[in-house]
Amino acid sequence: MAEPTFRAPKGTRDILPPESGRRRALIDAFAQQAELAGFGEIMSPIFEDLGVFKRLGESTDVVTKEMFDFFDKGDPPQHLALRPELTASVCRAFAEHRPTPPWKVWYEGPQFRYEQPQAGRYRQFAQVGIETLGTDDPQADVDAIALGWHFYESLGLREITLLLNSLGDPTCHPAYVDALRTYLSDSAASLSPQSQVTLERNPLRVLDSKRDEDAAIISAAPLMVDFLTDETREHFETVRAGLDQLGIPYELSPRLVRGLDYYTRTTFEFSADALATAQNAVGGGGRYDGLVEDLGGPATPGIGFALGVDRILLACDAEGVFATPEPAVKVFVVDVTGGSHALGVCTTLRNAGIGADRSYGGRSMKAQMKVADRSGAPFAAIIGEDEVANGEVTLRDLRGDTGQQRIALVDLAEHVTRLLS
């Protein structure tokens, strides 16, 4: 077989059936959970002005290393970037359109980051998520976390751990950052070369390091919880009380900072214990009470999360849950009279809401039955000269043990509906 002239770029892939159907089912399951909680879907552009994403944090890898950015063909050209995440786009949309708060939206779609591909992580990757803008009520934090937790439960996942932290607010944040910088600077010579560079940009990012040489130093670092003001402490305690009330278990993770600079107060992450890897996060989020204002909008508190579709499906595989949905095609029409009768039968079945497919090219009955078997359809509707003469089809059970029977063509849709119910 000749080699293809082109392949999908590194870090991307073609998602083919039936895997694509499983992903669509996952997104539909998330949409159902989100809309039951009052969230409406937002569809944002795949690319934005680069400035929208620079608000994610000038010191973050997303901004400094991973952005797919380019200039358009305008005069003067505009500096644009493929979105690396969707929270900033949602906040830009809020600043632009000024909807009535609280504004609750959910989303799904591809994001883009130029990073090293690995299991469950691609340069083009799909996420689902929610954002609630316009309220600083800690109950909104609880609602957001609970939605994510219940979504995982709806997929059948049981080995999910919720990690929880508070990053404080602008009142207490500077004192903590100063204390952390002083501590890390004293041990800078023992940090990894990457973390030494990160320390100069933003000491909080050092806490994100998973490198062995940084572990001991990070484990003894100052904790944000010791710097919280009474107000931020009360907010965090209310969030914890709400999760306790709902029976949602969590672990306090005092060094959890997430990967973007806009987070304040509540921060959380979902990890899949069934994934035997250090990179087992399947989603996370938190508060970002200053991001809308940074993008030119009014001061607007926000809370949200994003969940990685690829990692979630890996977790489902590891736990043996959320199988690929059954094929939508329920009847494969085998027409050995030339093919014209299959056209009408397929149309009749589809109009009745029954998935139907057929073969092409006037193939033999044996060849068509092989295609019918590969289709996954539970039934084959066989049309020969005798069936045509009598206004009938032969309905054959391809997956069970009920054999086959002649059915009047006018009764076929009703009969199949009964068999499928």
- Cβ neighbourhood burial of 411 (10 Å; 0-12, 13-18, 19+): exposed
Q: Go through the domains of the chain in sequence order and give each one's CATH number.
A: 19-172+228-319 (3.30.930.10), 329-416 (3.40.50.800)
Position 190 scores a pLDDT of 84
CA 67/CA 108 separation, integer angstroms: 19
Across the strands, what pairs with 355?
329
Pairing relationship of beta strands 69-71 and 329-335 according to DSSP bridges: unpaired
CB proximity list for 267: less than 8 A, separation 6 or greater:
164, 165, 166, 167, 256, 257, 258, 284, 285, 286, 287
CB atoms within 10 A of CB 79: 13
CB proximity list for 104: less than 8 A, separation 6 or greater:
37, 38, 39, 40, 130, 131, 132, 133
Helix (H), strand (E) at residue 41: strand 40-41
What's the whole-number average pLDDT of the chain?
92
Give the pLDDT confidence of 271-288 residue by residue, as tens digits: 999 998 778 999 999 999
Higher pLDDT, 226 or 25: 25
391: left (phi over 0), alpha (psi -120 to 50) or beta: left
Asked whether residue 397 carries a pLDDT value surpassing 60, the answer given is yes
Asked whether residue 400 carries a pLDDT value surpassing 90, the answer given is no
DSSP assigned state of 9 = P
Give the pLDDT confidence of 296-347 residue by residue, as tens digits: 999 999 999 999 999 999 999 999 999 999 999 999 999 999 888 999 999 9
Per-position DSSP letters for 397-413, written without gaps between them: ESSSS--EEEEEGGGHH
